[in-house]
Structure 1
Amino acid sequence: MDSMGATARTPMPTAIELSYNHEHSYVQEHSYTEETLPILHHVATVPEAVASSGKYTNILVYGITNAVILVPLMISFAQIIFRDPVFQPYLSELVKLAMVSGAVHQMCFSLSSTMPFAVGQVQDAGLIFLSAMASSIVHSLHKSDDQFVMQEVLSTTLFTLCGSTAFLGVALVITGKLRWASFVQYLPMPVVGGYLSFIGLYCFQAGLSMMSSLEINNFMDWPKLASWKSVALCLPGAIGGVFLFVAMQRVKHFAALPSAMMFILAVFYTVMWLIGASFDDARAHGWIAPLPTDGQMNFLDMYKHFKPAHFHSEFLLDQVPTWIAMYFVVAFSSSLDVAAIEMALHKPLDHNAELQTVGWSNLVSGFTGGFTGSYIFSSTIFSMKSGVNSRLTGAVIFVVEIALVLSPVSIIAYVPKLFFGSLQTLFAVDLIMEWIVHARKSMFLGEYCILWFTFLVMNVWNLEAGIVLGIAGAGVNFILSYVHTTVVRPVARQSLVKRDFRERTLLMQHRKAIVVLELDGFIFFGSSVHIMQQVREHVVWESPCPSHDPINAQDVVTLRTRFLVMDFERVRGVDVTAVRSCFNATKQMLSEHNITFAFANLPRNVQGMLDLHNVLDGCHVFSNLESALEWCEDDLLRMSGATPLHDQMHLYLQKGATVDLLSIFLPPPSDMHDDVLTDALAKLYIESALHPAGTVIYKSGSEVDGVYLVGKGTVEVYDDDGGMEHNDSRRARIVRVSNGAWLGDVDMVLNRRHSFTAETKTPTFIFCLKQSSLKAMRRDHPQLAARFDKAILQSMALWIFESHVAIRV
Structure 2
Amino acid sequence: MAEMAEKISKHLHGDLDKVVPTTVVMVAMTSIILGLVFFVMGLFRVTSIANYMPYPVIAGFLSGIGAQLMKNGVHMASSKALTAAFFTLEVQVLLLPAVAFASLARLGQYFKFPVAFSFPCLLALSLVGFRLISFLYGVSIEELGRGGWVFSWDPVVVAQTPMWFPWVEIDFNQVHWHTLTHECMEFMVSLIILGALKYSVATTSLSTLFGRDISPDNEMRVIGLANVASGLLGCCGGGHYLSAMGIMKQFEAHEKVPALVCAFLVVCLWMAGIRLLQFVPKFIFGGLLLSVGLHFLEAYLVTPFHFLKPIEKATVVLITSSFLAIGMLESVAMGIMISMVELIWRIHAVGCVHHETTGALSRSAVDRTPEQTAYLDSEGSAIFVLRLQGYLFFGTSVNILERMETRVHSLDFPKLKFVIIDFGLVPSFDATALLNFRKSSTLADMYMFDIYFCGLKPDIELALRQNHYSQRVHLLRSDVDIALEICENELVPDKLFFTPETPRPGTSLTEWKRMSQLELWERFMAASTEHDGTSNYQKLLPLAAYLETIVVPNGSQLVPERLRDDTYFICFGYMNFVMDSEFSNAHNIPGVRFSEACDDDGVGRGYSDGFPNENDDGLDEPIRASNPRKMSFVVPEESQWTPFTTAKSRLLKIGPGAVIIPNVAGMDPEYKYFATSDCVVLRLRAAAMETLEDQAPHTAVAVLKLINVRLATRFRHSSKRVSQMSSLLYK
Instruction: Specify which of 408, 414, 417 is matched with residue 282 of structure 2.
Output: 417
Distance in 1 (CA, whole Å) between partners of 2:328 and 2:543 is 94
1:623-644 per-position Cα deviation (integer Å, ceiling 9, x unaligned):
21143222122112237x5235
Q: Residue 297 of structure 2 aligns to a residue in which SS?
A: helix
Alignment of 1:120-159 (within 5 A): 134=2
Instruction: Specify which of 603, 608, 617 is matched with residue 457 of structure 2.
Output: 603
1:382-433 per-position Cα deviation (integer Å, ceiling 9, x unaligned):
9997899xx9x98887555423432256233222111111122123212222
Residue 713 (1) aligns with residue 579 (2) = no
Write the letter of the residue equivalent to 1:629: L
Partner of 1:67: none
Partner of 1:572: 427
Partner of 1:747: 663
1:701-758 per-position Cα deviation (integer Å, ceiling 9, x unaligned):
3364454443553234456996454433446474554346643337259899995345
Which stretch of the first structure deviates more once superposed, 227-236 or 243-252? Answer: 243-252
Which stretch of the first structure deviates more once superposed, 623-632 or 469-478? Answer: 469-478
Partner of 1:679: 538
Instruction: Specify which of 176, 199, 206 is matched with residue 65 of structure 2.
Output: 199
Q: Residue 148 of structure 2 aligns to a residue in which SS?
A: coil
Distance in 2 (CA, whole Å) between partners of 1:601 and 1:648 is 27
TM-score normalized by the length of structure 1: 0.65
Q: Residue 623 of structure 1 aligns to a residue in which SS?
A: coil
1:248-274 per-position Cα deviation (integer Å, ceiling 9, x unaligned):
452344334323322332443455456
Partner of 2:726: 807
Conserved 8 A contact 1:519-1:568: yes
Conserved 8 A contact 1:500-1:740: no
Write the letter of the residue equivalent to 1:747: N
Which stretch of the first structure deviates more once superposed, 160-169 or 563-572? Answer: 160-169
The verdict on how the C-alpha distance between 1:138 and 1:424 changes in structure 2, with shifts beyond 3 A counting, is farther
Structure 1 residue 173: Cα displacement:
3.4
Write the letter of the residue equivalent to 1:211: A
Alignment of 1:548-587 (within 5 A): 561-580=416-435, 582-587=436-441
Write the letter of the residue equivalent to 2:428: G
Q: Residue 561 of structure 2 aligns to a residue in which SS?
A: coil
Distance in 1 (CA, whole Å) between partners of 2:445 and 2:296 is 59
Partner of 2:677: 761
The verdict on how the C-alpha distance between 1:747 and 1:499 changes in structure 2, with shifts beyond 3 A counting, is farther
The verdict on how the C-alpha distance between 1:463 and 1:156 changes in structure 2, with shifts beyond 3 A counting, is farther
Instruction: Specify which of 696, 707, 727 is matched with residue 605 of structure 2.
Output: 727
Instruction: Specify which of 71, 75, 81 is matched with residue 209 of structure 1.
Output: 75
The verdict on how the C-alpha distance between 1:297 and 1:364 changes in structure 2, with shifts beyond 3 A counting, is farther
Which stretch of the first structure deviates more once superposed, 413-422 or 196-205? Answer: 196-205
Structure 1 residue 597: Cα displacement:
0.3
Partner of 1:589: 443
1:296-325 per-position Cα deviation (integer Å, ceiling 9, x unaligned):
523156559978779986874568635532
Alignment of 1:358-757 (within 5 A): 358-366=223-231, 367-374=233-240, 398=263, 401-407=266-272, 410-440=275-305, 449-480=314-345, 483=348, 487-490=352-355, 493-535=362-404, 539=407, 541-542=409-410, 544=412, 561-580=416-435, 582-615=436-469, 617-625=471-479, 626-638=481-493, 642-644=496-498, 662=525, 665-666=528-529, 676-679=535-538, 681-684=540-543, 692=551, 694=553, 698-702=558-562, 704-717=564-577, 723-724=598-599, 725-729=603-607, 730=628, 732=648, 734-735=650-651, 737-739=653-655, 742-745=658-661, 747=663, 755-757=671-673
TM-score normalized by the length of structure 2: 0.71
Structure 1 residue 497: Cα displacement:
2.5
Conserved 8 A contact 2:38-2:223: yes
The verdict on how the C-alpha distance between 1:441 and 1:138 changes in structure 2, with shifts beyond 3 A counting, is farther
Structure 1 residue 667: Cα displacement:
5.2
Instruction: Specify which of 81, 96, 119 is matched with residue 257 of structure 1.
Output: 119
Q: Residue 419 of structure 2 aligns to a residue in which SS?
A: strand
Conserved 8 A contact 1:718-1:758: yes
Does 1 or 2 have the higher relative contact order (CA < 8 Å, sep 6+)? 1
Distance in 2 (CA, whole Å) between partners of 1:775 and 1:753 is 28
Residue 357 (1) aligns with residue 222 (2) = yes
The verdict on how the C-alpha distance between 1:749 and 1:339 changes in structure 2, with shifts beyond 3 A counting, is closer
Structure 1 residue 379: Cα displacement:
8.7
Distance in 2 (CA, whole Å) between partners of 1:333 and 1:751 is 58
Distance in 1 (CA, whole Å) between partners of 2:40 and 2:251 is 29
Partner of 1:129: none
Distance in 2 (CA, whole Å) between partners of 1:343 and 1:517 is 43
The verdict on how the C-alpha distance between 1:706 and 1:417 changes in structure 2, with shifts beyond 3 A counting, is same
Count of aligned pairs: 642
Write the letter of the residue equivalent to 1:411: L
Distance in 2 (CA, whole Å) between partners of 1:153 and 1:422 is 37
Q: Residue 807 of structure 1 aligns to a residue in which SS?
A: helix
Instruction: Specify which of 57, 71, 92 is matched with residue 231 of structure 1.
Output: 92
Write the letter of the residue equivalent to 2:147: H
Structure 1 residue 778: Cα displacement:
7.7
Q: Residue 701 of structure 1 aligns to a residue in which SS?
A: helix
Structure 1 residue 598: Cα displacement:
0.4
Distance in 2 (CA, whole Å) between partners of 1:304 and 1:195 is 41
Structure 1 residue 179: Cα displacement:
5.5
Conserved 8 A contact 1:688-1:768: yes
Instruction: Specify which of 96, 101, 104 is matched with residue 240 of structure 1.
Output: 101
The verdict on how the C-alpha distance between 1:201 and 1:717 changes in structure 2, with shifts beyond 3 A counting, is closer
Write the letter of the residue equivalent to 1:682: L
Structure 1 residue 286: Cα displacement:
1.9
Runs of 5+ unmatched residues, structure 2 = 513-517, 581-595, 608-627, 630-647
Q: Residue 204 of structure 1 aligns to a residue in which SS?
A: helix
Structure 1 residue 645: Cα displacement:
6.3
Alignment of 1:188-337 (within 5 A): 190-216=56-82, 221=83, 224-248=85-109, 250-272=112-134, 277-294=139-156, 297-298=159-160, 299=162, 300=164, 316=184, 317=186, 321=190, 324-334=193-203, 337=206
Q: Residue 526 of structure 1 aligns to a residue in which SS?
A: coil
Q: Residue 516 of structure 1 aligns to a residue in which SS?
A: strand
The verdict on how the C-alpha distance between 1:196 and 1:357 changes in structure 2, with shifts beyond 3 A counting, is same
